[in-house]
Amino acid sequence: MAIDATFWVAVSFIIFFGGLIYLKIPQKINEILKKLILDIKNEIDESEKLRAEAKKLLDNAQQKLDTAQSVSNEILDQAKKDSDKLIIDLNEKFHKSSEIKKNLAENKISQMKEAAIKEIKDASIKITVESVKKIISTSVDKSKLDGLFQKNLDETKEELKKINS
């Protein structure tokens, strides 16, 4: 049997693989690969935990945002109600105040009118009395005055009798 190059390649191939197995290279490669797989798996688990935690934080933040939004809406609604009530109250107070001022002004005008009429009456009575005094003192003597007085007295009695009957 002739030993040719193919035989020596096969022998060297077997020696090479035998050396690899003797040096435990496949086990070391297997351990390295297992370690890499384990590291990748740990990183995936860690990222899953971080993703779950981020989702939980996002849900909490969304819930807080929803709560804040509802509280904000409630505050705005209450503020609108309060402002509407305040406007109505101020409007009512304004109308009541203007009504009171109007009544006071009307009363004051009425009092001023009555005072003016009284002053005019007093002035006209004073002027009339003064005028009658002057007329009587300058034109009528005492006998005519007594006759005039008696005549007016009789006319007044007659008028009173007519009214009473």
What band does 136 get if pLDDT is binned at 50, 70 and 90? low
Please report, for residues 18, 112, 121, 131, 133, the alpha-carbon distance to residue 117 in angstroms, rounded to integers and kept in the order given.
144, 9, 6, 20, 24
User: What's the pTM?
Assistant: 0.41
pLDDT for res 116: 87
**pLDDT tens per residue, range 37-62:** 999 999 999 999 999 999 999 999 99
What band does 85 get if pLDDT is binned at 50, 70 and 90? very high
Percent of the chain with pLDDT over 90: 53
SS (H, E, C) 56-96: HHHHHHHHHHHHHHHHHHHHHHHHHHHHHHHHHHHHHHHHH
Task: Give the range with max mean pLDDT: 5-14, 68-77, 118-127.
Answer: 68-77
pLDDT at position 160 over 80 = no
Q: Using the 8-state DSSP alphabet, how is residue 24 labeled?
A: T
Task: Give the range with max mean pLDDT: 20-29, 59-68, 135-144, 145-154.
Answer: 59-68
What is d(CA 22, CA 10) in angstroms, rounded to the nearest whole number? 18
Spatial CB neighbours of 145, under 8 Å, sequence gap ≥ 6? 136
pLDDT for res 141: 65
